[in-house]
Structure 1
Amino acid sequence: MSIATSPDTRTAVEELLRTIGEGDPQRIAELYAERGDWKLNWPEAEHGRAATPWIRHRSTRADAAAHYRELAEHHVPEQVATEVERILIDGNEAVVIGEIRQTARSTGRAYRARFALHLTFEDGLVTRHHICEDSLAVALAFDTEEQ
């Protein structure tokens, strides 16, 4: 197995971000290894709630496709934007820092959430996808209780 070098890692990150932006869950999933380590920084009790089913740990390429499908199903597609502020590369590791802007389909509430995405690539495929994001902003946007 060859480990990506820094220029290869940057190319892989840019391809992943571009493909995510295009929005085809199956094409995005092709950039993930068959088995991987996908974690979120949300409290465990909040994983897999009906309002936010895409928020859970994952471990397969099929899980990656499901994640992007579920994410799209629960947001208004015309009201999605991501600003990438910085990409940091160290060998086959990358950290992407930025902000997502989305609108919850179920409530119509727009939100902004800062994020840091830690990726690891092997043979050009994502083997680690750990994301830290503003879970409170997301949770409030999907909260159906009267605010």
Structure 2
Amino acid sequence: MTTSTSLPVAASEATRAVVHELLRRIGEGDAAGIAEMYAVRVDWKLDWPEAEHGRAATPWIRHRSTRADAAAHFRELAEHHVPEEAATAIEGIFVDGQDAVVLGEIRQTARATGRAYRARFALHLTVEDGLITRHHVYEDSLAVAQAFAVED
């Protein structure tokens, strides 16, 4: 017998599995493997001032719309940071049906300036048919901008 609550529970379990796999792949740093987790079309937004999107020092910071864009994001992110000095602390993963929110803090070092930074974040994901269709990031953009700022 199926109850009316089994579908949301099943969706939540499927979403949680996709989120855990995404985080594992991000930890490994394989941009192509990460991109496979995304739908062909994805709603990808970053909570940054529009004027700051796609600047030369932070080209990965811009809205995206495709699986190929997702791969480019993770390649650009890796190119502009020192990989040996990167870490992410996940503080919580909250799942409700197809939606998940990941809370945590990233620790990175800007390759161009050598400045280390920490930035708290919230990542809102939506999973449909086993693929991520929404990727909205809310992070401490000031910490990132300061780490990449070129001193005059």
Question: TM-score normalized by structure 2?
Answer: 0.93
Distance 2:115 2:98 in 1: 37
Distance 1:99 1:39 in 2: 18
Quick one: higher RCO (CA 8 Å, sep 6+), 1 or 2?
Answer: 1
Task: Say which one has the larger Rg.
Answer: 2
The alpha carbon displacement at 1:145 in A equals 1.6
The alpha carbon displacement at 1:116 in A equals 0.2
Q: Residues 35-83 of structure 1, C-alpha deviation per residue, up to 9 Å, x if partnerless? A: 0100000000000000000000000000000000000000001000000
Residue correspondence of structure 1 range 1-147 to structure 2 within 5 A: 5-146=11-152
Percent of residue pairs bearing the same amino acid type: 76
Distance 1:13 1:64 in 2: 15
Gaps of 5+ in 1: none
The alignment partner of 2:74 has SS state of helix
Distance 1:131 1:77 in 2: 21
Gaps of 5+ in 2: 1-7
Question: TM-score normalized by structure 1?
Answer: 0.96
* CA-based RMSD: 1.3
Tell me the matched-pair count.
145
